[in-house]
Structure 1
Amino acid sequence: MRQTDLQSYETASHNFIEKYCPSIPIPYIIEEWTDSDREYHFTQMTTIYGVSLSRAWTNLSQTQKQQLAIDVAGHLRTLRKFKSDRMQSVSGKSLKNNWFIPRGHGTRTTRLWKTDDEIFDSAYRPVLEYKGIFARRIQLIRDLMPPCVGQFAFYHGDLYHGNIMVSARTGQLTGIIDWEFAGYYPLWFHYARLRFHVPNKSQIVDTEWKSLLAEVIRDEIPYATHGLVWWHAVWELIDNPKSQKGRDWLDLLADWIGGYEIVMPIEEYERYRSKDWV
C-alpha cells in the first residue's frame, strides 16, 4: 500500500489502539518501510475479514444498521476517554487537515493549538477576513464558537462507509480501517464531522450511515448541535459572504445559546439545515 507521510500518522494510531484499546477491531501492522529516496512510506497489514459497509449497506436490515451504529459508537466512546491538552496526533504531530480548517486558508495541517483563541485566530479569522466578512460579524462568530479547551479527545476522524468493515452475512462489525486522520479533536467536531456536508446522490449510503451514527452519539457529545450549527454558519459565509442564510443561522444560534450550552431539538436542527430555511 503506497502512502506518503500520512502513513506515520496511521502507524502511530494503530500502535496506540493496540496498546490501549485492544477491543477495537483494526488490522495489524506486519512491517513498514520507505523507498530509497524516502519519498514514500509503505505498510503491510493483515487483512480484515468481511466487506466494506459501502458494499453491504443495501443488504442490511434497519435493525442490523442500528446495531452497527451502536457498536461503532461504543468504540468511539472508548476512544473519547483519551484526552489531550491540545490538537495533535497521538505521536504529538500536527493533524492532517480534516475539513477542520476552512478552504482558502492555504495550509494542509492544523497546528498544536491549545486555546480557543489560537484555534479561531489561526484557522478561521484569516479566511473570514480574506472573504471580506465584517469585523463585527467575525467577532460574533468568535463569541459563538463552541469551546475547545478541555474538549480535545481521541477520534478516528474519517468514519465514511468505506472505512467500516462488516460481515456480508450478518452485518456485524469486523474492523475499522484508515486511521491516518485520527487524533485529538474538540468533542463538538466529532459530531459535526459526521453531519457536515451533504454528499451528492451517488454517496447517499454514506449520508444515511453517518446520519445514523451521529444520532446515536449525539447525546454523548457536549455542544454537539451547537458545534455543527456554528460550523455550518462559518462555511456558509466563507462560501458566500453575502449569504442571508449564514447570517440568520448565527442569529438563531445566538438566541439558542443564551449563555448556556445549546440544546436544540433535532426537528429544529433539520429545519435549520434545510436549504429552504430562511
Structure 2
Amino acid sequence: MADLSESQKEVVKIEIDTHLATMHNLTSSKIGGPSGIIIPPYRILRNMEDQMLSPPSKECEYVFCHMDLSQHNIIVDPVTLKIKAIIDFEYSGFWPVQFELHFYTRLGPSVGREGEIDDTNELLKFLTVIVLVAF
C-alpha cells in the first residue's frame, strides 16, 4: 500500500475499514492475543520490558485488533487495488477498539507523529490497571 498514489490509497482505505469491521466482530473478555499472551503494540513495547498477565474483564468486551496496521503491512494489488494480504499480526489480539489507530492513512510507523493522536499514555494507563488487577 505504501507504494500507491494518494488517490489509490483512498480506494484501499475503504476496503481496510471493511476488514477492520470484520476483525472487530471477534470479541473476548480478555485483552491480548488468542493464546492469552499480551504483546503490547510497538508504541508501548519500545518503552517497556515487563511481561504482563491479563485477568478477564467484568465490565467490557474487547475486539480483535491488528494494532500495527500501517501501509507497509497491507499488501495491495496495484492494478485492482484490492487488498491481497494484511501481514504482521505479532501485536494483534483482543483490545479496546479505541486503541486500533488508523496508521494506514499515512506513511510511517504505527506511532503517533507530531500533530496526530498519540494514545501511548492512555494505553500505558490501561495496561497498568490491567497489571494491578492481575496481581
Instruction: State the AA in 1 paired with 2:71.
Output: H
Q: Corresponding residue for 2:49?
A: 106
Q: Corresponding residue for 2:38?
A: 95
- The share of aligned pairs that are identical, in percent, is 20
Q: Structure 2 residue aligned with 1:158, among 48, 53, 68?
A: 68
Instruction: State the AA in 2 paired with 1:85.
Output: S
Rounded to whole Å, the distance in 1 between the matches of 2:21 and 2:86 is 14
Rounded to whole Å, the distance in 1 between the matches of 2:56 and 2:44 is 15
Rounded to whole Å, the distance in 2 between the matches of 1:75 and 1:181 is 17
SS of match in other structure, 1:97: coil
Residues 187 and 110 (structure 1 numbering): CA distance in 2 closer, same or farther, change over 3 Å?
farther
Q: Corresponding residue for 1:199?
A: none
Residue 152 of structure 1 deviates from its aligned partner by 0.8
Rounded to whole Å, the distance in 1 between the matches of 2:45 and 2:89 is 19
Residue 102 of structure 1 deviates from its aligned partner by 8.0
SS of match in other structure, 1:165: strand
Residues 162 and 153 (structure 1 numbering): CA distance in 2 closer, same or farther, change over 3 Å?
same
SS of match in other structure, 2:95: strand
Q: Which has the higher helix share?
A: 1
Residue 77 of structure 1 deviates from its aligned partner by 0.3
Rounded to whole Å, the distance in 1 between the matches of 2:79 and 2:66 is 26
User: Quick one: higher RCO (CA 8 Å, sep 6+), 1 or 2?
Assistant: 2
Q: Structure 1 residue aligned with 2:30, among 79, 86, 91?
A: 86
Q: Is the 8 A contact 2:74 2:85 kept in 1?
A: yes
CA RMSD between the two structures: 3.1
Rounded to whole Å, the distance in 1 between the matches of 2:68 and 2:89 is 8
Q: Structure 2 residue aligned with 1:205, among 80, 95, 107?
A: 107
Residue 115 of structure 1 deviates from its aligned partner by 4.5
Structure 2's unaligned 5+ residue stretches are 123-135
SS of match in other structure, 2:107: helix
SS of match in other structure, 1:73: helix
Residues 84 and 96 (structure 1 numbering): CA distance in 2 closer, same or farther, change over 3 Å?
same
Residue 170 of structure 1 deviates from its aligned partner by 3.6
Q: Structure 1 residue aligned with 2:81, among 171, 178, 186?
A: 171
Aligned residues: 115
SS of match in other structure, 1:205: coil
Q: TM-score, normalised by structure 1?
A: 0.35
Structure 1's unaligned 5+ residue stretches are 1-52, 117-148, 196-203, 212-227, 236-278
SS of match in other structure, 1:169: coil
Task: Describe how 1:1-278 pairs up with structure 2 within 5 A.
Answer: 53-54=1-2, 56-57=3-4, 60-62=5-7, 64-91=8-35, 93-98=36-41, 99-100=43-44, 103=47, 105-107=48-50, 109-115=51-57, 149-191=59-101, 194=102, 205-206=107-108, 231=119, 234=121
Please say which structure displays the higher CA radius of gyration: 1
Q: TM-score, normalised by structure 2?
A: 0.67
